[in-house]
Structure 1
Amino acid sequence: MGQSKLLVSIVAGAAIGAALSMLDRSTREKTIDTTKKMKEAVTYYATNREELQVLVEEKVLAAKVLCESVSDNVNTIAEKVEEFKELPTTIQSMIDDTKSAFTLPHKE
């Protein structure tokens, strides 16, 4: 029961906030302009469904390409991190080799 009151209160607050924001002339004009453009777009795509389908397919393809690119970048970064993890061992090995080369007794 308390949950339904919360939902009603949230909806009422949103409606009151929206109504108060409409008192500002520029907000009202922008909202009317946006609503008109949205109506035109809906009407256009309602009559040109094939074009909407092509547009959606293009967006889906672009999203797939972006995901693949991000995935490749993440894999590359992971590989570099692994290389950097091995770097201190390699450097230590080089230091030890250099140190042993200079500390070995030389025969004349």
Structure 2
Amino acid sequence: MGENKFGKYVLFGALLGAAVSFFDRHTREQVSRKSNAILSEIGFYSKNPDILKWKLKEKKEKYQSVYDQLTEDVTYIKQQVEELKTLTPQVKELVVNTKDAFVESKDEYKSIVNETAEPQDSETKK
């Protein structure tokens, strides 16, 4: 069986693309500026590791607080969903009972209206 050359060719293509992109002067300058900035930052933090530790700790606390807030929000939403699940059958029963009450009232109103209307009709027929 032959070797899988896909990975090699992808890497070769990426390197070739990077080399071609360096023909543009603006790209070369931008890569040079960013590389110099990264190197100077690495040098600074290698001389001041306490600052790096402090910044990393600060970031960790920030992400931890975001995580804690998200956890609280998810817990609250879960509680609301569970409450909604328990309330849904009760609300459904309440709506059905209310509908039934209106239907019964409607029938009662019809019968009352019909009772009051019939005597007048019978008196006018006489």
Provide TM-score, normalisation by structure 2.
0.68
**1:87–1:48: structure 2 CA closer, same or farther, 3 Å change rule?**
same
Greater shift, 56-65 or 30-39, is seen at 56-65
Aligned to 2:48: 48
Deviation by residue 1:15-69 (Cα, 9 ceiling, x = unmatched):
1111111122222221111111101100000000111111111111111111111
Counterpart AA for 1:27: T
For 2:78 and 2:44, locate their aligned partners in 1 and report how far apart those are by CA, in whole Å: 46
Identify unmatched segments of 5+ residues in structure 2. Answer: 109-126
Counterpart AA for 1:7: G
Counterpart AA for 2:19: A
Aligned to 1:33: 33
1:2 and 2:41 are equivalent in the alignment: no
Give how far 1:101 is off.
Answer: 4.8
In the TM superposition, what are the counterparts of 1:68-87 in structure 2 within 5 Å? 68-87=68-87
Aligned to 1:18: 18
Percentage of matched positions with identical amino acids: 27
Structure 1 or 2, whichever has the larger Rg, is 2
In the TM superposition, what are the counterparts of 1:48-67 in structure 2 within 5 Å? 48-67=48-67
Counterpart AA for 1:35: S
Provide TM-score, normalisation by structure 1.
0.78
**1:15–1:99: structure 2 CA closer, same or farther, 3 Å change rule?**
closer
Give how far 1:82 is off.
Answer: 2.5
**1:85–1:25: structure 2 CA closer, same or farther, 3 Å change rule?**
farther
Give the total of aligned pairs. 104
Greater shift, 48-57 or 7-16, is seen at 7-16
**How big is the alpha-carbon RMSD for the aligned residues of Structure 1 and Structure 2?**
2.4
Give how far 1:96 is off.
Answer: 3.5
What SS does the corresponding residue of 1:2 show, helix, strand or coil?
coil
